[in-house]
Structure 1
Amino acid sequence: MTEGHHFFTSYALVQELLKSKVALVGTIRRNKPELPPKLLQVRQRAALSSLFGFNKNTAAVSYIPKRGRNVLLLSSKHRDPAVTEEEKRKPVIIADYNHCKGGVDNLDKVVGSYSCRRMTHRWPQVLFYNMIDVSAFNAFVLFTAVDPSWKQAKSLRRRLFLEELGRSLVSAKIMRRKHPPRTPAVSIVADIQASAAAPDTGTTASGSAPDTGTTASGSTKKRGLCWMCTGKKKKSTTTCIRCEKFTCREHQIPCCRFCWMN
């Protein structure tokens, strides 16, 4: 059985999940066209009353927890209009939903702690970010289930796992790079390329020279004054790839990969 969020719960989704023998119990929005009009009526209905609707494989319920409020749920698991014997007389559908919805709430909480999401107005991109977050969390759950002793003494196991996961996903791409980026990520790229250096030849897996504190593009962690500035000298972290003197952006010349290699 799965529990659905009201934005996604629909009759079409129920039928699609039933093809895979998966039952769904979830809240549903009142603007869904498949809901019978009687379930949407709130006036003249007593508080704590329930109204059910059934077809061959789906049940819908309308519950009034207090006057003026209507709670709608859709279920492919329940087949009878049963209600609990507690004081609020909630339908069994709602009781089962409340019992299972903690899984989705907990997933939203843990995914929000470490997320790759960025501000965007494009809904496919939002969906893509959520797929990555959920997949990364599922990978962490499976990995720790297979190896429970992995970094068990650490309090931030999931963060450490995500760091290793991210590094493993980009390492192959980084090793194929011949030129490091001109961004703060240059140190990460240099570390990954240097870690794969062959100890007997003194070269990296990509064939470049070993890391000596200066990258192939001349970017260093240190800052120095540009030697070509005539007036007030500007500070820069970039050095010339040949003379290794500091040069500011104004005195740098873009170069294509072919010319740089020659």
Structure 2
Amino acid sequence: MGEKYPLCAKYGVKINWIYGAEYSYALKDVLYAGKSSDGRQIGLVNTTVEQLHIHLNVFMHHYFASYSTVQYFLEHGLTAIDTDSANCRDVPLCVQKTRGRDVHSTLAAFEYNKKVIMIKGNHSKEERTVLLMSSSHTKLKIDNQRDDKRINITNDYKFGKEDVDSMDARIYYFCFKRKTKRYTMLILYLIVDVCINNAFLLISHQQSYQKTKKRFMKELSARWSINISK
């Protein structure tokens, strides 16, 4: 899950998207238009996730992640893997502590029924840590198929997150966005960018199509121009 343009900070508007982790295909979106006249909305993140979810394993950014959200998914037959902030109130104190930990070590904390697992791994000498929470793993295993010998939960999260990042990168480098001060136009540009990305993914799966996204956008723009002129 993610958002593209930082509209919320400036205009109070943003779009939350859910992507297919395997192909970076945008599946669904929910528009957030700021506070309503009734006042501040309680449980906004849970409400958004509830509207976006489908019956698959969900990879989440720490903005959407919380223990209550993961529990909600479990109640509806869904599993989730997400990153968490170190200062999140759901993180146990024993997991927050990093002093004295060995480099490349991993600390795991299980729920009493082992349905939810939280890990914290040290990945560098600068004590840079990664905090993950998962409801799709019941125990930790070393992934022997990779040279880095990472645990399974880390590799599974990287698998889902990398495809989301690749979509953001494609939209960033080849986007339809133009300079404007109107947030309605920014919303329109974002929707067009995502539609172009989806169209490129669909056509690129044809074996006969070997062109880049930049070339695809030029051809698509030329066809639009011809249709408009007619």
**Correspondences of 1:1-262 after superposition (within 5 Å):** 1-18=57-74, 21-55=77-111, 56=113, 57-67=115-125, 68-84=127-143, 90-117=150-177, 130-142=190-202, 145=205, 152=209, 155=212, 156-161=215-220, 164=223, 167=224, 192=228, 195=230
CA distance 1:116–1:40, change in 2 (3 Å):
farther
Greater Cα offset, 117-126 or 41-50: 117-126
Calculate percent identity across the aligned residue pairs. Answer: 26
Query: d(CA) in 2 for partners of 1:53 and 1:159?
Result: 51
Q: Aligned letter for 2:89?
A: P
Q: Name the SS for the 2:82 alignment partner.
A: strand
How far 1:129 moved relative to its partner? 5.5
Q: Give yes or no for contact 1:2–1:24 (8 Å, CA) kept in 2.
A: yes
How far 1:132 moved relative to its partner? 4.5
Q: Aligned letter for 1:63?
A: G
Which structure is richer in relative contact order (CA contacts within 8 A, separation 6 or more)?
2
TM-score (norm. length: structure 1):
0.49
Query: d(CA) in 1 for partners of 2:80 and 2:87?
Result: 19
Query: d(CA) in 2 for partners of 1:125 and 1:141?
Result: 24
CA distance 1:157–1:15, change in 2 (3 Å):
farther
Q: Give yes or no for contact 1:3–1:25 (8 Å, CA) kept in 2.
A: yes
Q: Aligned letter for 2:96?
A: L
Q: Aligned letter for 1:37?
A: L
Q: Give yes or no for contact 1:63–1:90 (8 Å, CA) kept in 2.
A: no
Q: Give yes or no for contact 1:140–1:161 (8 Å, CA) kept in 2.
A: no
How far 1:34 moved relative to its partner? 1.3
Query: d(CA) in 1 for partners of 2:79 and 2:96?
Result: 24
Question: Unpaired runs of 5+ in structure 2?
Answer: 1-56
How far 1:43 moved relative to its partner? 0.8
CA distance 1:44–1:122, change in 2 (3 Å):
farther
* Equivalent residue pairs, number: 168
RMSD (CA atoms): 3.9
Question: Unpaired runs of 5+ in structure 1?
Answer: 168-187, 196-262
Query: d(CA) in 2 for partners of 1:126 and 1:64?
Result: 39
Q: Name the SS for the 1:101 alignment partner.
A: helix
